[in-house]
Amino acid sequence: ADNPYKTTLQGIARRYGIKPVGASHPHMELATIFLLSAVNRYLEDGARWSCVMPGSLLSGLNHEPLRSEKYRLSDVALPLQFDAIWELPQNTFKNKAIVLSGKKDDSPSPDVLDGRVYTDVEVYEEVHYTLNRQGNRSAWTNKGRDVEVADILCDNALKFSQGCDLFPRTTLFHEFVARPNGNWDIAPIERTSNLWYLVNDQKKASCNGLAAENVDKSYIFNAFISKHLSPFYMATPAMVLLPGKKVNGQWKAISATDRALMNTSTAYIFNQIEEDANTPSSLATYLHDTINIYGKLDKQNFSTKNWLVLSSASGANPCAAYISLEALDRSRLIIDQTLYWYLADTEDEAIYIVGLLNSDALSDAIKDFQPEGGFGKRHIHTLPYKIIPKYDNENAAHIEVISRTRELMREWAALCREGEYANLIQPNSSSLSSRRRRQQSAIRSLETYEGYETACHAVLG
């Protein structure tokens, strides 16, 4: 039944300036209403107070107005200062709880609050709390002022990795034609080619005229870049030439022995790459310090699980898809730095993550963390992976996201089988930003979209 006091409580919260807004507006907290009302009605100026509060007060979106001390500018204009936080042992109450303390005082709360973290009734560590801000979000933390709020909210973030640096594009991406012996003929990508998207925005020309016949297949791999990615769909990967090869699962630079054993065409190709002014002077430097910088290529071991999630690494709106690795040669698959990747334990986990990443619910959730400057929203990078709750196969809300995402994917796949959208998921059809906008607009018009978004909002708040 409806709470008969709901309207009254909403009115009190509004008077004190702490009524939640946005996605958190349904989640009023009785404890905060009680605290402010009690301090206002029963304490004299200068009196001290302490109150057991829900642990969500440290970072919950519904408590944002309280942490920002909106009550000072409310109709009540309450003079209330915070000065201490104690985190209670996990098993003290059913839910995590804290003790918040302060004074009825006009002075602003100090920048650093005294604190304790209890592990038992009389066992605690002395700490200090700062109110950290990121965009429009805030959180009290004892981890230091430099910690981002997104990291505070999710200390169990999804472990997405960024792909490797496949640049310059014109050095590594070419037209490849198979030979009967398994090797490849390579030639430059022309403007009329379906592969033009691979090199059309290359800023520095490099190895533009590179061509040869019978190039050794050992140095040729399959690569995904961001232009292959559409919501819920990955296009066919592009072939890529790398100045190194995998030996027993480890990346090795081309050695003098390798050079001596190469056929003439393969040796010619790598000599041309070394001599080009816009590539490193040695193939070893090119592999280790450019392509594999920070070990981004070494990390790409896809042998342990069967489901690969791929997500965009730039722009203000997330985009994601997943693929099965069972039919692919995993040892020859490369992910470019324009994508982030994650190996899911199960297909259900992959669908859950991809469903949330493609949702407007996630876009809404990350907006609060994105300060907007003169050039608009910052790129999202790893932010989405920090605020998506880890998949729990016993969580009904997570299961609902999977069910609704499956329905949406089926409807979207049917639309993409022919006509305008069959072309729109191909990477050479138009610019990436234009394709993504049109794809996302089409998805929002699908019959199953509303139920899908509702399920995603239930998880992300």
Residue 439 has pLDDT above 80, yes or no: yes
What are the distances in angstroms from CA 239 to CA 82, 84, 177, 195, 271? Answer: 59, 59, 10, 10, 20
pLDDT digits (tens, 9 = 90+) for 233-258: 999 999 999 999 988 888 999 999 99
Q: What six digits make up the tokens of 308?
A: 């690969």
| In contact, 59 and 139? CB cutoff 8 Å | yes
Cα–Cα nearest to 339, from 428, 441, 423, 230: 230
Residue 209 has pLDDT above 60, yes or no: yes
| Domain boundaries, given as residue ranges, for the chain | 5-151
SS3 assignment, position 175: strand
What φ, ψ does residue 99 adopt, rounded to 5°? -110, 120
SS3 content of the chain, % helix, strand, coil (to 5): 35, 25, 40
| In contact, 85 and 98? CB cutoff 8 Å | yes
| pLDDT over 90, % of the chain | 77
Residue 394 has pLDDT above 60, yes or no: yes
What is the reported pLDDT for 94?
Answer: 87
Q: Where does the pLDDT of residue 40 fall: very low under 50, low under 70, confident under 90, or very high at 90 and above?
A: very high
Partners of residue 82 on adjacent β-strands: 102
Q: Provide the mean pLDDT of the chain.
A: 92
What φ, ψ does residue 139 adopt, rounded to 5°? -160, 140
Question: Which value, in Å, is the radius of gyration of the alpha carbons in the chain?
Answer: 28
Residue 1 has pLDDT above 50, yes or no: no
- Give the span between the Cα atoms of 296 and 298, in whole angstroms: 6
Give the distance between the most distant pair of CA atoms in the chain. Answer: 91
SS3 assignment, position 389: coil
What is the reported pLDDT for 369?
Answer: 73
Q: What six digits make up the tokens of 269?
A: 């190709």
5-151 classified as CATH 3.40.50.150: yes
- Give the span between the Cα atoms of 309 and 433, in whole angstroms: 20
- Give the span between the Cα atoms of 136 and 54, in whole angstroms: 22
| pLDDT over 70, % of the chain | 94
| 130-139: long-range pairs with CB below 8 Å, 24+ | 131/67, 134/369, 134/371, 135/367, 135/368, 135/369, 135/370, 135/371, 136/64, 136/367, 136/368, 136/369, 137/61, 137/64, 137/368, 137/369, 138/59, 138/64, 138/67, 138/68, 139/58, 139/59, 139/67
Residue 17: which region, alpha, beta or left (left: phi > 0; alpha: psi -120 to 50)?
Answer: left
| In contact, 424 and 244? CB cutoff 8 Å | no
Buried b (16+ CB within 10 A) or exposed e, 411-449: bbeebbeeeebeebbbbeeeebeebbeebbebbeebebb
Cα–Cα nearest to 451, from 414, 409, 405, 415: 405
| In contact, 160 and 342? CB cutoff 8 Å | yes
The identity of residue 56, as a single letter, is S
What is the reported pLDDT for 373?
Answer: 45
**Torsion angle defined by CA atoms of residues 285, 286, 290 and 296, in that order, rounded to the nearest 10 degrees:** -90
Partners of residue 86 on adjacent β-strands: 99, 116
Query: Quick one: DSSP state of residue 301?
Result: -
- Give the span between the Cα atoms of 32 and 63, in whole angstroms: 8
Residue 81 has pLDDT above 70, yes or no: yes
- Give the span between the Cα atoms of 362 and 144, in whole angstroms: 27
Residue 115 has pLDDT above 50, yes or no: yes
What is the reported pLDDT for 204?
Answer: 78
pLDDT digits (tens, 9 = 90+) for 131-173: 999 888 899 999 999 998 888 877 678 999 999 999 999 999 9
What are the distances in angstroms from CA 356 to CA 114, 246, 433, 461? Answer: 38, 35, 20, 12
- Give the span between the Cα atoms of 51 and 69, in whole angstroms: 16
Cα–Cα nearest to 81, from 92, 89, 72: 72
273 versus 21: the higher-pLDDT residue is 273
